[in-house]
Amino acid sequence: MTRILDFNGRDAERTVTVASIAALKGGGRQYVQVTAGTEEEAAAAEAAGIDMVVCLAAAVPEVRRGSSRLFVTAAIDFGGEVNTDDLLATAFRSLSAGADAVITARRLDAVRLLAAEGVPVMGHLGFVPKRSTQFGGVRHVGRNAAEAGTLWRQFQDLEEAGAFAVECELIPAAVLAQITPRTAMATISLGSGRDADVMFLFQSDICGESPRVPRHARTYGDVASLQRRIMDERVRALSAFRADVLSGGFPNDSEVGGIDPTELARFVQSLDDDR
């Protein structure tokens, strides 16, 4: 655990820092990152020893309530930010709320602006879901020499723009294995093989909550069946309560308050006297 001062100048402890992420290069060690969108998910990630989480910018306050120690990256492309001023404003709000870094898939000028303001910024290369139609659907990016060459130039441009790390989504494992040692940015693999500085999966996939698990993910739990059981038990309990109410079975004498018969008689007499 490392003592830091957060964006608001307050004492805090973090599992990892921007500096320790950058220091992963060539060190033979990897960090583990998952998504977390709720207080519960963040608390579970910390309890499991996860190093880093990523969430939507709007979820940062709730995630921080779940964990004060995890390294939190805010995704700032999903709140209606139209121009770079909007992105910058969202980035500062996220940092003020407790984020340690931001991630954006926007153009290089946006990355430069954020980095110039001292915001620790990650990029996103390879398959970018919001641009899936441009790739002709969901697929790996960098599957031939020309496409891999273009991807490498994108890595170089992103590094030059000031990103300290980059999410690498659906890049062929052998391609990322060549890129990781050649870039100063920490590489975060989502479906791009083991040769990265940080390994990343969605918590919903890991825990078995997703209706469809992507090829690159692996499921380690079955939270979905537990959630179904909870829902079934909730409906059963509510139905039983309703049935008891309609049949006169709720409440019974042990579930209501009482009054001494003499006191009740005095009260009733007072009501009669008020007529």
Domain definitions of the chain by residue range: 2-221, 226-273
Q: What is the pLDDT of residue 82?
A: 83
Give the pLDDT of residue 161: 98
Parallel, antiparallel or unpaired: strands 2-5 and 11-14:
antiparallel
What is the C-alpha to C-alpha distance for residues 148 and 96, in angstroms, rounded to an integer? 38
pLDDT of residue 158: 98
Residue 225, pLDDT score = 96
* pLDDT at residue 178, rounded to an integer: 97
How many residues appear in the chain? 275
- Give 167's strand partners: 124, 188
pLDDT tens per residue across span 43-90: 999 999 999 999 999 999 999 999 999 999 999 988 888 888 999 999
Q: pTM (2 decimals)?
A: 0.89
Catalytic residue IDs: 169
The answer to whether 54 and 75 have CB atoms below 8 angstroms apart is yes
The pLDDT of residue 57 is 96
How many other CB atoms sit within 10 Å of the CB of residue 199?
17
Q: Per residue in 209-239, pLDDT tens?
A: 988 888 899 999 999 999 999 999 999 999 9
How many Cβ atoms from other residues are within 10 Å of residue 109's Cβ? 10
Q: d(Cα 198, Cα 246) in Å, to the nearest integer?
A: 58
Residues 6 or more apart whose Cβ sits within 8 Å of residue 16: 2, 31, 51, 52, 71
Q: Residue 8's closest CA among 62, 84, 61?
A: 61
Distance from CA of residue 145 to its chain's centroid? 34
SS3 assignment, position 113: helix
> In terms of CATH, what superfamily is 2-221?
Phosphoenolpyruvate-binding domains (3.20.20.60)
DSSP one-letter code for 129: G
Residue 32: what pLDDT?
98
How many CB atoms are closer than 10 A to CB 62? 17
User: Helix, strand, coil % (nearest 5) of the chain?
Assistant: 45, 15, 40
- How far, in Å, CA of 54 to CA of 74, rounded? 6
- Residues in the chain with pLDDT < 70? none
The whole-number pLDDT of residue 231 equals: 98
